[in-house]
Structure 1
Amino acid sequence: MASNAEGASPYKHPYHLVEPSYWPILSAFSAGIMLFGIIVLAHGGGQWVLGVGAVAVLACMFGWWRDVLKESRTPGLHSSVVRLGLRYGMILFIASEVMFFVAFFWAYFHFALYPEHVSGAASAIWPPAGIKTFDPWSLPFLNTMILLLSGCTVTWAHHALMENDRKGLIVGLALTVFLGIAFTGLQAWEYSIAPFAFTGGVYPSVFFLATGFHGFHVIVGTIFLAVCLFRAMAGHFTPEKHFGFEAAAWYWHFVDVVWLFLFVSIYIFGAGEIAHH
């Protein structure tokens, strides 16, 4: 019988044969309802279909991931081979996210390096004429420092876990979650005082698309780390077995690195006439 540190496996091999579950089919129908709601809303329909679909998707996410957490704590199921497969899966997921942001950077640099391609532009300059930009060394720089500090605190939490320091793990995770919330709050404030509107042309479009999707990833990462914080307080992680936290830390470092590219590319390289608030 295959076994690991968590106990003997119920199988004669180190792999996890997932039990039959209704979550995949429920999630598929829920996602279909949500997408149908988006179509209905785009054609002037009511918002209730989209709302029902979104709530259903969130419920499926909560239920499915709750079951995965139960499996991870069932002796013998998440063997070392299974955890290796989960690591490969997380690496491939982050790689797909990298390509997701490559598309945004491609769009941005296409117009930044070839401003003559901007439709209706009076002159080939970037940012387009009439666009005032943020001072990169004010609020954007503050947010950059917050994210870099959060990368330090999540690394501190990881090292504390490896040293079996439960207090350090909890404090490090709590600080990281706090810094993630602070970043989101400051970005929301930044959007509220933006010197350009969402419908103000190609520059606002690529700005809000790239930074907005990054902000969404920060929110997802903050929730991910908050779940890890509750699990750490419940004693779910050990120095030998803590992939859930490890995956969250990888994701958070990815979010940090993407922001550094955004800060340099959009806020510094793409700076034009600075708007004064």
Structure 2
Amino acid sequence: MADYHFVYKDVEGASTQWDDIQRKLGNLPPKPPAFKPPPFEPAPDPDSAPKDKSWIDQKTEEELEDLEDDLDDDRFLEEYRKKRLAEMREATKVSKYGSVMQISGSDFVREVSQAPQDVWVVVLLYKEGFPECGLLLRCLEELAVKYPATKFVKIISTECIPNYPDRNLPTLLVYNSGAVKANYVGLYSFGRRCTPEGVALVLCQSDPVLNDGQSVDGQSQKAVLEGVRRRFIEKVVTEHEDRDDGGSSSD
């Protein structure tokens, strides 16, 4: 006759009197706590959330556009929705630039000539291996960060203009509304020492080329120009003081 071995398993977490005695004697590990499922909580209903400014702030640009006809009964929220949507669109526009973008000859029309009319484009004609080009490029990279609503691009000179003379490098072209507004040939167009402050001052002499993206009105452009002039003067004064300190220490 076959042997049958029956193993009894109690409900999970339950314990027999024998097990309790053995645990008291230290022969068995402590009894694990009984499993308790977490209490049921229904998922939050987005439609039941209170509609206030924080509710608007959590929406994406697409969601704000979809709410256009849903807030007609709440004038405050509708106005705030429009304000928030305008801020997001402006931020998207500003963040589009912020660096010096490399382009090729085939990109020129799309990236420069066909740029939006309210965008100024600064084009660097350069070649690798020219120290002067590298110096001006570093200045433009700094300006591109400070003025992210101005578009900065760089292109190999001969890809832009066939047979363009190397002696004219680096060259800056300034475009707006598809037309050349200014051109600067050679590094000395920006003074004896090419600095970001000096380049910014030259670019803003006749047109509001540099745009920090804060606003598009005349007052903002005036503030940008005043800031450019102030930083240029501060740079000159600092360099002059450094030279004086160096001369004094050598005496």
Q: Which of the two has greater strand per residue?
A: 2
Query: TM-score normalised to the size of structure 1?
Result: 0.25
Query: TM-score normalised to the size of structure 2?
Result: 0.27
Q: Which of the two has greater helix per residue?
A: 1
RCO (CA 8 Å, sep 6+): is it higher in 1 or 2?
A: 1
